[in-house]
Amino acid sequence: MKHIIVVGGGFAGINLARSLGGNKNYTVTLVDKNNYNFFPPLIYQVATAFLEPSSISYPFRKLFRHKNNLHFRLGSVVKVVTEENKVVLDNGELTYDYLVFATGAETNYFGMQNVKQHAMPMKTLHDAIAMRNRMLQQMERAIITKDEAERKKLLTFVIAGGGPTGVEISGMLAEMGRTIVLKDYPELHGTRGEIYLVDGSESLLSPMSKQSQKGTYDALRRMGVRIRLNVHVKDYVNDTVILDDGDTIEAKSLIWAAGVTAKMFEGIPAASYGRGKRMLTDEYNKVQGTTNIYAIGDTCLQLHEPHWPNGHPQVAQTAIQQGKHLAKNFKAMALNHAVTPFKYHDKGSMAIIGRNKAVADLPKPVLHFKGIIAFFMWLFVHVMSLINYRNRLKTLANWTVAYFSKDQSLRMIIRPDNENNT
């Protein structure tokens, strides 16, 4: 049996591994720094206490039960020794016949050290829990302080990035302010912070249709979100968000959803990386300059499709499709059959704005939906995209309660004793 090492258990890695489950020609070891798979599109709902972490996560070892050829290794890659077909981890070494990078992307702070140190990213489950704790602690501090300016800073949120994550968390915070905050914190009656959504482009949700962009902009404005377009965050100093047009915003919370970058690994040739540190691959996902190393998902940059001259979008559907397709090619290789090039199938885009407010674009045929129809489309797609029935049922139950009660009871501050309380 050939040994495949898959680094990263996100959409791409988990779909590759599970598609090879039970295959007699391969044994697969999935390596990840976490012992669980999680669903990034719903991170912000954990961050705002509308879902519990276990609703969007599931342990790898339980997923791999009853598949004797699937194994899990907790660890992080330190370097790759290509001439020995060896991966060096922070806790040991593994040898491979094929190595697949599915490491996703990490937050890009564009070299701004103050933003990196003080802003709240939205990429991991840890980020979401840290944001939930910080948000709830700031509410508690707001009811204690006698300084009106300090209270307003504690209640003001600036979200950098007008993509789906920025839009969705802006809408969620706005709805919380209208339906929850004054119930839980009656002491704050008459005091209000602001929610700012900042993006450097000319519109929100720039990859989506003009209808979706305008609908999202109008809906968020009606919900009280202050939208600043064509402007970037330049720095974050002493609780002050500094914009590149000279304006400033006083806020204790800067939520960073403005960009991502892939990771680079020692041992992979520098010439194998392209824009955004993504690994350049051929149409079969093989990394350029290597013989048995592959990349899929956000860390992969394929340029062979004319319709995607700058590479495929870094979204869940790309990762899922590449993971499943590479699994098919591995199966074909084991049987000495021809492999097929990857072809991306765009299934559309959608974003939720608030209760009964969402937008959705479907490419074939070109259709646009908004309002309650798009809202329930979004709910259905995201529930069905969760990794198993347990997650789907838990998430659906939480959403049902939240929809009819306009509330949720998950606002607990739970943190390790040694966590830095900021």
pLDDT in tens, 221-233: 999 999 999 999 9
Distance CA 260, CA 297 (A): 13
Q: Is the pLDDT higher at 98 or at 180?
A: 98
Sign of CA dihedral 320, 205, 213, 196: positive
Apex 130 CA angle, 43 and 15, nearest 5? 35
Quote the pLDDT of residue 231: 96
- pLDDT-derived band at 258 (thresholds 50, 70, 90) equals very high
- State pLDDT tens for residues 287-345: 999 999 999 999 999 999 999 999 999 999 999 999 999 999 999 999 999 999 999 99
| 400 contact partners, CB below 8 Å, separation of at least 6 | none
Name the residue type at position 263.
Answer: K
pLDDT surpasses 80 at 81? yes
- State pLDDT tens for residues 198-210: 999 999 999 899 9
Lowest mean pLDDT across 7-21, 261-275, 355-369, 401-415: 401-415
For 354, the 3-state DSSP assignment is strand
Report all structural domains of the chain as residue ranges with CATH numbers, in order of start.
2-33+75-105+262-334 (3.50.50.60), 113-259+348-405 (3.50.50.100)
Phi/psi at 381 (5° precision): -60, -45
Q: Is the pLDDT higher at 408 or at 187?
A: 187
- How does the average pLDDT of the chain come out, rounded? 93
Span 176-195, average pLDDT: 87
Apex 23 CA angle, 18 and 26, nearest 5? 95
Tracing tokens 């974050």 back to the chain, one arrives at 236
% of residues, the chain, pLDDT over 70: 98
Q: Is the pLDDT higher at 406 or at 17?
A: 17
Other Cβ atoms within 10 Å of 180 Cβ, number: 18
- Whole-angstrom CA distances from 235 to 113, 203, 247, 371 are 8, 22, 11, 36
Quote the pLDDT of residue 134: 93
Q: Which of 100-104, 192-196, 403-407 has the highest mean pLDDT?
A: 100-104
Q: What is the DSSP letter of 2?
A: E
Phi/psi at 421 (5° precision): -85, 100
- pLDDT-derived band at 419 (thresholds 50, 70, 90) equals low
Nearest one of 307, 295, 236 to 269, comparing CA atoms:
295
Q: Is 401 exposed, middle or buried (0-12, 13-18, 19+ CB in 10 A)?
A: middle
Span 381-396, average pLDDT: 88
Quote the pLDDT of residue 179: 84
Span 114-128, average pLDDT: 94
Distance CA 401, CA 202 (A): 37
- Is residue 304 within 8 A of residue 318, CB to CB? The reply is no
Quote the pLDDT of residue 416: 67
Quote the pLDDT of residue 359: 94
- Is residue 195 within 8 A of residue 202, CB to CB? The reply is no
- Whole-angstrom CA distances from 138 to 157, 196, 323 are 11, 17, 41
Lowest mean pLDDT across 109-123, 159-173, 263-277, 374-388: 374-388
Helices marked H in 20-110: 43-47, 60-63
Tracing tokens 């700031």 back to the chain, one arrives at 138
Distance CA 68, CA 88 (A): 24
pLDDT surpasses 80 at 123? yes
